[in-house]
Amino acid sequence: MNLGYARISKADGSQALDLQIDALAAANVAPDHIYKDKASGKREDRSGLEACLKALRKGDTLYIWKLDRLGRDLKHLVTTVRNLSERGVGL
């Protein structure tokens, strides 16, 4: 199954998820399989990301617009990618 994750840093209306959602749709991610957050990447409590990572199963593929949408910092990104790989999830 294809799942997608999209995040914007500001919820004040100055940013929109549209470009990311369009890119995920072009990658054949169904709208109901796109998880979203409107929160800074530095925040640890990103409920959309947590739900997305929990929903992923072996053989699934996670689509993101850019790597910086996924990780809080380089260490978090590497850890997350390693965890996905160990679980048999594509990125």
Q: Which residues are catalytic?
A: 9
Listed residue (45, 9, 37, 1) closest to 21, CA to CA: 37
Is 52 in contact with 35 (CB distance < 8 Å)?
yes
83 and 34 in contact (C-beta within 8 Å)? no
